[in-house]
């Protein structure tokens, strides 16, 4: 046997979507109901484990043999569930991995496992098996009855767990559904068989799975104390808002907008951004009401609840990262707690604030910090605390996308600025306005304009991009924006030229069906898919790539993908947007390269361009940053810089 395709149906009272597979499979009532498999793409067999059938010895051996490739769609689900199942029912067949002191010994080694969901994502296709089957036009598609059958057998009902013998017809259909999923998974792989998948992709996937298996430690007593204080703060703020407005439910945007209108303050919406604008121009009771409303609506406290939901019995939250979560670039996406969008912390005395939470001293917290919800929000990061005898080493790349863009476009002045370790925002403003600019010094107001231009205009953005980035809120006027766009592009001619070099290369590859190149990038078509080969050897994929006339009389580049509404549709793109995908993808590959170099360390998390390593106390932070700064062979001459710090409670410095 060389390959084994697997799909399982399971039962657990835990909410899988909310809590994740690690918590789901840990529950005492967890069980595998059906085990569907096919050896070497042969006949699909379904084992009825719920009715006492057993997994054959040769299949049990294959599950732990790294030389047999195990395929599944969203393979982490099968691997984690089967880890629990083998430990419980076949302990002699279970082989864990990890060294002494590691936290991954409960799980099967991901080496030997491959995921057809990852395979599809790497080729630009949807993450949903149902959507994928439809996108590929497969004759065998995922059965629509699946959700109903899962609700019947995989979840507890009002009367408790439902037994197969009580629903014989539905159970037979459930087995058919299990069989169909294996068949679809095999057809998905066969549909992509002609596309070569780099071995490095699976190496990265295996490392990702190890990081997810390790998990990140959570201080649950602190989380519970924070939730308790947050609930008290919510009740207090709501009481004050009710007293001030006289409304029955002042949390209702409709009710509060009507109250504001009666006070002479028109509000079209009460989003976070709009509320901030109204606050700036309001006074008296209206201003106080808006401030209270903003605090009452603070949603980031829900992350404390997500920690409770996902944390495992050993105090670690697992499964926080989705490999290839971003279809265009292949970057990681967050799951559950969502480490990628944790609130920032600006308090200087985080440890004091933490101690007040643990003591439950609401009055002192309110007195010292003013807004209890905002303080609790800033403390969310500190809920991740390294285990005893360990500390977090946090290291992140400095201006990684800006460095990669300058390198790829050969914008020399920017490369020289990075080499001299100069502030890129000040340097950009200095060139744009032909005046000396120093951060916190002479013409520092121009640095702010340089910063907003840097953040908004690197990928072809114009006035709209500046406004979306908050240019008007930062004091810029609409009249200034066109000049700012022009100045930035004049200051960065090689980058502006690079956008359209990529645009031409894409169009020529599609129209002429030939290989085109821009620097270290290669563009080519294969079976209707546009591929962009990156310096790392990884590829970006755009299925159904074609050229067509646009509404502006120009030739537009199009491909098929998930649109803004998450529908599988034709999407228009152009050079600067492709450059954005490329730069983000290369930056992602550099992070993956750094994590590979750190594989002998204990990475327990990563956020955008940052790595969180749980180290034994005494490890030097320079040891980690030095490894982060190693330049890949495929980007010779790229100037990387990594900053780092040590902390027992995770925070952002």
**CATH class for domain 3-193?**
alpha beta
pLDDT single digits (tens) 16-38: 999 999 999 999 999 999 999 99
The distance between the two most distant Cα atoms of the chain, rounded to a whole number of Å, is: 81
CA–CA dist 124, 109 (Å, integer): 27
DSSP state, residue 305: H
Residue 298: strand, helix, or coil: coil
CA 221 to chain centroid? 27
Q: What percent of the chain is modeled with pLDDT above 70? A: 98
Domain ranges for the chain:
3-193, 220-300+342-383, 412-491
Q: If we measure between CA atoms, which residue out of 127, 118, 97, 322 comes closest to residue 201?
A: 118
> Which residues have CB under 8 Å from 186's CB, separation 6+?
5, 38, 41, 44, 71
7 close to 73: Cβ distance less than 8 angstroms? yes
pLDDT single digits (tens) 247-277: 999 888 899 989 989 988 888 888 888 888 8
pLDDT at 94: 82
Helix (H) / strand (E) containing 11: strand 3-11
330 close to 344: Cβ distance less than 8 angstroms? no
CA–CA dist 470, 256 (Å, integer): 26
Helix (H) / strand (E) containing 13: none
pLDDT single digits (tens) 160-215: 899 999 999 999 999 999 999 999 999 999 999 999 899 999 999 999 999 999 99
Arithmetic mean of pLDDT over the chain: 92
Mean pLDDT of 91-102: 73
pLDDT single digits (tens) 118-150: 999 999 999 888 888 888 887 666 667 888 999
What's the pTM value of the predicted model, to 2 decimals? 0.92
DSSP 407-463: HHHT-HHHHHHHHTT--HHHHHHHHHHTS---TTSTTHHHHHHHHHHHHHHTTS--H
> Which residues have CB under 8 Å from 66's CB, separation 6+?
109, 111, 112
pLDDT at 422: 93
pLDDT at 129: 84
In sign, the C-alpha dihedral spanning 13, 18, 22, 23 is negative
CA–CA dist 595, 323 (Å, integer): 13
pLDDT single digits (tens) 285-328: 989 888 888 888 776 688 999 999 999 999 999 999 999 998 88
**C-alpha distances in Å from residue 317, one per residue of 28, 212, 220, 388, 614:** 18, 9, 10, 16, 14
pLDDT single digits (tens) 332-363: 999 999 999 899 898 989 999 999 999 999 99
pLDDT single digits (tens) 570-614: 999 999 999 999 999 999 999 999 999 999 999 999 998 999 999
Q: Higher pLDDT residue, 473 or 490?
A: 490
CA–CA dist 21, 62 (Å, integer): 22
């Amino acid at each position: 046997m060389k390959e084994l395709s697997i799909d399982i149906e399971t039962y657990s009272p835990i909410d899988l979507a909310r809590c994740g597979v690690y918590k789901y499979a840990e529950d005492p009532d967890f069980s595998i109901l059906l085990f569907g498999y096919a050896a070497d793409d042969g006949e699909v067999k379904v084992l009825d484990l719920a009715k006492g059938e057993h997994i054959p010895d040769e299949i049990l051996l294959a599950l732990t043999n790294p030389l047999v490739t195990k395929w599944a769609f969203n393979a982490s689900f099968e691997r984690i569930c089967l880890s629990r199942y083998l430990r419980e029912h076949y302990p002699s067949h279970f082989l864990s991995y990890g060294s002494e002191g590691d936290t991954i010994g409960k799980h099967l080694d991901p080496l030997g496992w491959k995921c057809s969901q990852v395979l599809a994502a790497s080729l630009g296709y949807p993450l949903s098996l149902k959507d994928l089957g439809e996108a590929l036009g497969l004759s065998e598609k995922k059965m629509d009855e699946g959700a109903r059958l899962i609700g019947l057998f995989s979840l507890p009902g009002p009367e408790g767990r439902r037994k197969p013998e009580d629903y014989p017809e539905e159970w037979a259909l459930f087995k058919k559904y299990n069989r169909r999923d294996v068949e679809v998974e095999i057809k998905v792989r066969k549909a992509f068989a002609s596309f070569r998948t780099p071995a490095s992709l699976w190496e990265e996937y295996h490392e990702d799975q190890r990081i997810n298996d390790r998990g990140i430690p959570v201080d649950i007593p602190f989380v519970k104390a924070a939730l308790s204080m947050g609930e008290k703060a919510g009740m207090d703020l709501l009481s004050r808002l009710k007293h001030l407005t006289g409304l029955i439910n002042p949390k209702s945007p409709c009710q509060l907008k009507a109250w504001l209108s009666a006070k002479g303050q028109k509000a079209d919406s009460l989003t976070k951004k709009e509320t901030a604008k109204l606050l700036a121009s309001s006074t008296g009771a209206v201003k106080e009401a808006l401030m209270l409303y903003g605090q009452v609506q603070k949603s980031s406290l829900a992350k404390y609840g997500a920690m409770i939901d996902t944390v495992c019995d050993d105090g670690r939250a697992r499964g926080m990262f989705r490999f290839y979560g971003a279809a265009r670039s292949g970057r990681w996406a967050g799951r559950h707690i969502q480490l990628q969008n944790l609130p920032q912390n600006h308090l200087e005395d985080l440890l004091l604030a933490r101690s007040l939470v643990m003591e439950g001293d609401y009055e002192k917290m309110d007195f010292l910090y003013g807004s209890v919800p905002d303080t609790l929000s800033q403390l969310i990061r500190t809920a991740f605390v390294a285990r005893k005898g360990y500390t977090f080493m946090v290291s992140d790349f400095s201006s990684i996308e800006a460095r990669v863009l300058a390198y790829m476009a050969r914008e020399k002045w920017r490369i020289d600025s990075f080499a001299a370790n100069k502030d890129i925002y000040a340097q950009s403003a200095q060139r744009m306005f032909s005046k000396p600019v120093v951060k916190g010094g002479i013409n520092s107001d121009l640095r702010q304009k340089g910063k907003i231009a840097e953040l908004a205009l690197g990928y072809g953005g114009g006035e709209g991009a500046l406004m979306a980035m908050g240019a008007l809120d930062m004091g810029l006027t609409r009249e200034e924006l066109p000049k700012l766009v022009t100045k930035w592009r004049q200051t960065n001619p090689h980058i502006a030229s690079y956008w359209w070099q990529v645009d031409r290369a894409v169009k020529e590859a599609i129209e002429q069906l030939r290989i085109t190149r821009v620097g270290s990038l290669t563009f080519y078509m294969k079976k209707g898919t546009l591929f962009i080969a990156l310096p790392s050897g990884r590829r970006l994929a755009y299925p159904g790539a074609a050229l067509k006339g646009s509404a502006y009389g120009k030739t537009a580049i199009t491909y098929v993908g998930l649109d803004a509404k998450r529908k599988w549709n034709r999407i228009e793109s152009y050079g600067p947007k492709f450059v954005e995908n490329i730069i983000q993808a290369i930056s992602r590959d550099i992070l993956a390269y750094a994590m590979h170099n750190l594989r002998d360390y204990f990475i327990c998390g990563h956020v955008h361009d940052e790595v969180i390593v749980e180290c034994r106390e005494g490890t030097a932070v320079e040891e980690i940053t030095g490894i982060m700064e190693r330049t890949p062979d495929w980007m010779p001459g790229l100037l990387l810089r990594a900053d780092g710090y040590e902390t027992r409670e995770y925070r952002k410095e």
